[in-house]
Amino acid sequence: MPNELAIDVEGLCKRFNGVVAVNNLAMQVRRGEIYGFLGPNGSGKTTSIRMLCGLLTPDCGHGTCLGYDIIRETGEIKRHVGYMTQGFSLYEDLTIRENLDFIARMYSMKNRREAVDRALERLGLGQRQKQLAGALSGGWKQRLALAACMLHEPELLLLDEPTAGVDPKARRDFWDEIHRLAAAGITVLVSTHYMDEAERCHRLAYIAYGNLLTQGTVREVVEGSRIVTWAVEGGDLNGLAAKLRDLPGVDQVVPFGNTLHVSGTDAELLSRTVAPFQGLPDYHWAPTPPGLEDVFIQLMEQAKDRFS
């Protein structure tokens, strides 16, 4: 039902100086879900996010964000959306509290002090409220940016690679907070390069060269890829990889620590190709379920052939 969708767009496209940044994007995001948006650098993720929140006008297409038309009602969208940009965009020469107070003034919020106090407490920033933003580590800057996004109590968060450059503990804490927000009914669209983060999303989509290639739950995306993967352990894996690459049926040969993943979409052809190598005494071969990284590498290679 339409009122159950936070984002419902179709046919979105955007060009810059004749270059296609986003091509015929269709996306539906349910209210209260965490929707992962993945793709290589320059794939069109940021452009898509900016069209959704009214910062960019699409060249074609239509749709709604929180029920508001993305072309005619951008002002309303901005009042109900929190957008966290890739880079830290707050004032580094202001304290944490001063930054949040400035944001509250921008939204003409009543009871600013109480709203800032709530934001400081919710993100655990109270004891650092007098610290300059420029002196914060990456993880604390991330918390401050999220607090600023949440200050006006938005219904939808658009987070553009929010955990880039922060340590694993800070990333985990951030995602715990995202799940708490989603459980409270807030919709989250988050772009990321991290596969472990993608697996924490309710649903996800993959975009490359401006084209949406797949979307669904993690299970749906993996099963829909039709990738067959063999895991190989043994001696000279680099030498084995060199021999396997470009053989019939072998689409990917990717090292994962002390293991090599050999993948393809034609199971029968791949099986015939690797059979001679499976008889070598120095290696142990075993079928393994493909992971998201296997799927997305495959999609990226296919997109390179189709769209580049």
Residues 54 and 181 occupy one common structural domain = yes
Any domain includes 261 = yes
What is the per-residue pLDDT across 168-191, written as a single tens digit (0 to 9) for each? 888 888 899 999 999 999 999 999
Any domain includes 295 = no
Per-residue pLDDT of the chain (308 residues; tens, 9 = 90+): 456 999 999 999 999 999 999 999 999 999 999 999 998 888 999 999 999 999 999 999 999 999 999 999 999 999 999 999 888 889 999 999 999 999 999 888 888 999 999 999 988 899 999 999 999 998 899 899 999 999 999 999 999 998 887 888 888 888 999 999 999 999 999 999 888 899 999 999 999 999 999 999 999 999 999 999 999 999 899 999 999 999 999 999 999 889 999 999 999 999 999 999 999 998 999 999 998 988 988 888 887 766 76
Q: What is the CATH number of the domain that holds 256?
A: 3.30.70.920
Residues 263 and 162 occupy one common structural domain = no
Sign of the torsion formed by the C-alpha atoms of 151, 153, 154 and 158 = positive
Residues 72 and 119 occupy one common structural domain = yes
pTM above 0.85, yes or no: yes
Residues 195 and 65 occupy one common structural domain = yes
What is the per-residue pLDDT across 26-50, written as a single tens digit (0 to 9) for each? 999 999 999 999 988 889 999 999 9
The per-residue b/e assignment along 175-194, b for 16 or more CB within 10 angstroms, e otherwise, is: bebbeebbeeebbbbbbbeb
Residues 166 and 40 occupy one common structural domain = yes
Domain count, the chain: 2
Any domain includes 305 = no
Any domain includes 257 = yes
**Residue 115 structural domain:** 2-221
Residues 183 and 260 occupy one common structural domain = no
Residues 113 and 247 occupy one common structural domain = no
